[in-house]
Structure 1
Amino acid sequence: MIIETFKHNMAAHCESGTLTALLQHKGLEITEPMIFGMGSGLYFGYLSRTPNLNFPMFILRTKPGKLRKKVASRLGIKFKSQKFRNPEKAEKELDSLIEKVIPVAVQVDLYYMEYIPEWERVHANIHFITVIGKEGDYYTVSDSYFPRLAKLHKDNLNKARFAGGYLAPKGFLYYIDSIPESIDYKSIIKKAIKNTINNMIGVQPPFIGIRGMRMFGRKVLGWPKITRDIDHLSHEIMKINIFLEDQGTGGAGFRFMYATFLRQAAQIFNSPELEGLSKKMMEIGDGWRKISYFAAKIGKNRDLGPDKLGELSNMILERADVEEQFYKELKIVVNHLN
């Protein structure tokens, strides 16, 4: 059977896109940017090398799962979720929910999504898809990164749900139990914006928010000392492009989506100030896209001398300065919203 009423849409990001699709199916008229903004999804962190992390990396959004939990608490939405140790029990529960005509979001390792071209598949345990049907040995799934509904063999889905490694899915699934009849969007939006401002310029550890951006800008100069050779350094520099382009909604590190959230919030509050800040955030996103392209260029060309890394460092530090000023302005505006 297939849940025919479920509407498949592509989205900017798998977690926010999957969550939005489930809410829309349940009857809530809401956009992905609004979900992302109200869940305070925008974030930045620079993680140094540790015994569990072979090389430094930066993060552009809140921890997987946190967006859903904040949306649930702020909007009053009730979700039901489960993790499993036994793949057979996990499959049985999933099948039972589908039989009840309930679309189910599952966390998977992207590598086992057989409908995606093989050259695009990588091991990534924090991918989310929605399962909306099953016929024989194949599930029908909605993947926000894929243009249409897809078929996925049950063996591959089980492998994907029980892949090992960092942030292992452990068979995790969730679905919507109930949505409140009314939602106070204005109150939620103000609270969410203030939370994001605090994450970026509030009292945080030195590797989080704007301070984390500045740490990234400084530390990238030392990457040649912690790489094996020029090929390794090239690989790590090009990963900056991958994180921004493929995992940060198109080169902006989620800035474009947050800009859309601010524009939609401006319409709700009838606020020209928020509208103006939305445009500024789009410009900030353009700046991150330039960083993305520059990193790809120097990484591909192995042009990684001190001058080029210095230029990359300065571009990142300049973004930090611009964003710090942006959040200071946003803080003033949100405190005067009615």
Structure 2
Amino acid sequence: MIIEDVSFPAGRHCETTTLGALLRHEGLDVSEPMLFGLGEGLGFVYWDAKNMDFPFLGGRTKPATITRTATDRLGVALHVQETASPRKAWRNVTAALDAGRPVGLQLDSYHLEYFTTKVHFGGHFAALRGYDDTHAHLIDTAQQGGAVKTTLTSLERARGERGPMTARNLSYTVTGPATPPDPATAIRAAVRDNARTFLNPPIANLGHRGIDKAARQVTRWLDRSTAPSHDLPLAATLMERGGTGGSLFRVMYRDFLAECATILDDDDLHLGHRLYAGIAPLWTEVAHHITTAGETGDPVHLGRASAILTDLAERERHAMRVLAGGHSE
């Protein structure tokens, strides 16, 4: 059972690629930046815990929240199922596939055979478009190969893994609306709410406060790591190429705002786009300095990364105030 007309060419981020593929099958062709923005996906987290080998810098909201928020904004019905039973989990997806609907899955990418880098990450997403006697056929990001397959056994392990960011065999399908909502209303609400969340984080590790914290902590990273030549470049690679679309999702959000500005003639949107067009390259500079520090062992580069992060915290705070409708130049 394989559904042929399921695709999302050139997808960069796993969750938006998965949602985009499901929506295209329903006849809704929405760009990836638009899905990310309508899903209020932009964020920041500085994550460091005792059981972690090295800190993690994240640029988006928690797994599955983009899907839930974007479908709500688009007026799309989202049907989510979770279960602790692998047998029931498989029945859930085969029932949808047999009815002609592709299925979104949350997975631990470590178990997927087409992944060349074996790292546990429980917040990965892919669209299941079918199966045969031995393999599951999936749509993943362009970086992972687009139309790919993995054995049914490995898929079961990927769905059932327990740990940070995992879900209990989570699967979901979408049903398109009879009448799509007004795009201007959806855009205004998504931009405003994302900005307000970013500006008012509940803890100091998130939002603009998290960027400030990262600026303070990053200078200690050579001492924090037992293998800085590995850990620092890996952290930088995740910022630039770990499914973020570049610059820790700031490139994707810049492109979202650019698309919004073609739909709405709004001064705050235009200004917000210009501000994020200036912000995005600075995140690439941060990643470069972190990589160089790891490769050379020279702490000067972490000092430079810290200074840029301090600047970024203020730049993003200002940009989000503009997008929240509070301030403009």
TM-score, normalisation: structure 1: 0.88
Q: Does 1:20 align with 2:15?
A: no
Q: How many residues align?
A: 327
Superposed CA offset, 1:10-66 (max 9, x none): 31200011111211210113111111111110001223434x545433321000011
What is the Cα deviation at residue 204 of structure 1? Answer: 4.0
Please tell me whether the aligned partners of residues 77 and 180 of structure 1 are also in contact (alpha carbons under 8 angstroms).
Answer: no
Q: 1:90 to 1:334 in 2, by over 3 A?
A: farther
CA deviation after TM superposition for structure 1 residue 247, in Å: 2.6
Could you say which residue in structure 1 is the equivalent of 2:209? 211
Distance 1:121 1:54 in 2: 16
Q: Deviations over 1:288-324 (max 9, x none)?
A: 0111112112212222x3x332222112112112222
In 1, distance between residues paired with 2:56 and 2:149?
33
What amino acid does structure 2 have at the position aligned with 1:23?
A: L
Q: 1:93 — aligned with what?
A: 92
Q: For the structure 1 residues 267 and 333, does the alpha-carbon distance in structure 2 shift closer, same or farther, using more than 3 Å as the test? A: farther
The whole-number CA distance in structure 1 between the counterparts of 2:190 and 2:16 is: 15
2:22–2:174 contact (8 Å) kept in structure 1: yes
Partners of 2:139 and 2:14 lie apart in 1 by 10
Change (3 A) 1:248 1:97: closer
Of 221, 238, 252 in structure 1, the residue corresponding to residue 233 of structure 2 is 238
Name 1:136's counterpart in structure 2.
Answer: 133
CA–CA separation in structure 1 for the residues paired with 2:124 and 2:200: 30
- Aligned position for 1:122: 119
Matched, 1:70 2:69: yes
In 2, Cα distance between equivalents of 1:88 and 1:302: 50
Partner of 1:160, secondary structure, is helix
Alpha-carbon distance in structure 2 between the residues aligned to 1:182 and 1:169: 30
1:60–1:248 Cα contact (<8 Å) kept: no
Paired residue for 2:252? Answer: 257
- Residues 241 and 251 in structure 1, CA contact (< 8 A), matched pair in contact too: no
% of aligned pairs identical?
Answer: 28
User: For residue 186 of structure 2, what is the aligned residue in structure 1?
Assistant: 188
Q: Alignment RMSD, CA only? A: 2.3
Greater mean alpha carbon deviation, residues 193-202 or residues 152-161: 193-202
1:58-99 deviation line (CA, Å, top 9, x unaligned): 321000011112123333221111112221222232222211
Q: Does 1:327 align with 2:326?
A: no
SS in 2 for 1:152: strand
- Following superposition of structure 1 onto structure 2, how do residues 1-338 of structure 1 map, counting pairs within 5 Å? 1-50=1-50, 52-53=51-52, 55-116=54-115, 118=116, 120-145=117-142, 146-202=144-200, 204-227=202-225, 229=226, 231=227, 233-247=228-242, 249-271=244-266, 274-303=269-298, 305=299, 307-332=300-325
Comparing 326-335 with 215-224, greater Cα deviation is found at 326-335
- List gaps (5 residues or longer) in structure 1: none
The alpha-carbon deviation at position 271 of structure 1 amounts to 3.9
User: Post-superposition, which runs of at least 4 consecutive aligned residues in structure 1 deviate over 6 A?
Assistant: none
The whole-number CA distance in structure 2 between the counterparts of 1:154 and 1:168 is 19
- 1: CA distance, partners of 2:27 / 2:238: 33
Secondary structure (helix, strand or coil) at the match of 1:253 reads helix
Secondary structure of 2:12's counterpart equals coil
